[in-house]
Amino acid sequence: MIPGFEKIIEKKIKEAQEKGAFKNLKGSGKPLPEDDIEIDPSLKIAYKILKNAGYLPPEIETKKQILKMEELLKNLTDEQKILKTQKKLNFLIKKYNILNNFSVKNELNEKYFQKITLHLNKN
């Protein structure tokens, strides 16, 4: 970071606090929500950056939808709504499995490509 820049930032933050700019913010005084999806620790930072930018990989978005659908299903009592929700849930699970299988295949293909490239570069 540029020398002295931190002091300017801290000064601006302090001024904003004194003016009350941070009062009544959504979620103020509450703990930050935990991520509801298990992510490989080596990828956690990358996913957090993508999430903050408003984008997550399709398999993560689908997993979130599955979790919401399962929660919704627990609270339903109407048999028609239960059947409709179960169909949607089954579709999402199939979609998730396809997306994950695709990701694994891509990862394996990438590793294979790297091995071939290394081998060809040696010769």
**What's the pLDDT tens digit per position in 82-105?**
999 999 999 999 888 888 776 555
The better pLDDT of the pair 84, 4 is held by 84
Is the distance from CB of 46 to CB of 55 less than 8 angstroms?
no
**What's the pLDDT tens digit per position in 7-45?**
888 889 999 889 988 888 877 778 766 655 566 777 778
Is residue 74, in this structure, part of any structural domain at all? yes
pTM comes to: 0.47
In whole angstroms, give the CA distance from residue 102 to residue 98.
Answer: 6
Q: How many domains does the chain have?
A: 1
Is residue 29, in this structure, part of any structural domain at all? no
DSSP codes, the chain: --TTHHHHHHHHHHHHHHTTTTTT-TTTTSPPPPPSS---TTTHHHHHHHHHTT---HHHHHHHHHHHHHHHHHH---HHHHHHHHHHHHHHHHHHHHHHHHHHHHHHHHHHHHHHHHHHHH-
Is residue 87, in this structure, part of any structural domain at all? yes
In whole angstroms, give the CA distance from residue 3 to residue 105.
Answer: 46
Is residue 28, in this structure, part of any structural domain at all? no
Q: Which domain holds residue 117?
A: 37-122
Residue 120 reports pLDDT greater than 80: no
